[in-house]
Copies of this chain bind each other. A is one copy, B any other.
């Protein structure tokens, strides 16, 4: 287990967006996701083996598949949980910075730093997200919504609702961020290059 995990993966008083089912079901779902985080943090995508997740979560393999219909669904749901909490945190505190660009850079750098602190977990989540096919569209949409929301909030913290222009820019930044993450995960670029690329892109997009 990594000693100084930077990505929050445990919850005290579970209060996630999508709640359904009995307490036992929520508990199983949580145990499964916890096991997923633990295995992914230790060994990345390959270490998240469905049999291992089931055993660690103390559920049968069939039960695991009842909750998450595939390994990719499982990992994308895990990514959604990470971003959901990031969104909550971001909205709870004021984002520092005088310009949109500064605030967005601040937020994205914090997320990126967090993910780079858990490289194997990041690899697992990123690759799953990118490998997803149409059947995972719903889970992916949740991830995209959180990401866009985090970014539009950083662009215009006072607004209740984001303008269409902001949403477009936020999406582009999200695209660049994901691509940068993929490049970093696959060893094509260093952490420094990733940060610099992201910063340049944000400066280009928010230069008004």
A: residues with CB less than 8 A from B are 45, 123, 127, 130-134, 136-137, 140-141, 144, 168-169, 171-172, 174-176, 178-180, 182, 185-188, 197, 200-201, 204-205
Structural contact, A131 and B127, CB atoms closer than 8 A: yes
Nearest-neighbour CB distance to chain B for A180, whole angstroms, equals 7
Contacting residues, chain B, for A200 (C-beta < 8 A): 168, 172
Decide: A133 near B141, CB < 8 A? Known: A172-B176, A204-B205. no
Inter-subunit contact A175/B180 (CB<8 Å): yes
Which chain B residue has the least Cβ–Cβ distance from A208?
Answer: B207
Tell me the number of copies of this protein: 2
Q: Hey, which chain B residues are within 8 Å of A168, CB to CB?
A: 197, 200-201, 204
CA distance A82 to B189 in the complex (A): 24
Q: Which residues of B contact A182 (CB under 8 A)?
A: 130
Given contact pairs A133-B127, A179-B179, A204-B205, A171 touches B186 in the complex (Cβ within 8 A): no
CB distance from A116 to the nearest CB of B (A): 15
B127 near A187 with CB under 8 A, answer no
Most B CB contacts (10 A, CB to CB) among A141, A172, A185, A205 go to: A172
Contacts A/B (CB < 8 Å), 21 sampled: A45-B133, A127-B130, A127-B133, A130-B131, A130-B182, A132-B186, A133-B185, A134-B185, A136-B186, A137-B187, A168-B197, A168-B200, A172-B197, A172-B201, A175-B175, A175-B179, A175-B180, A176-B179, A178-B179, A204-B204, A204-B205
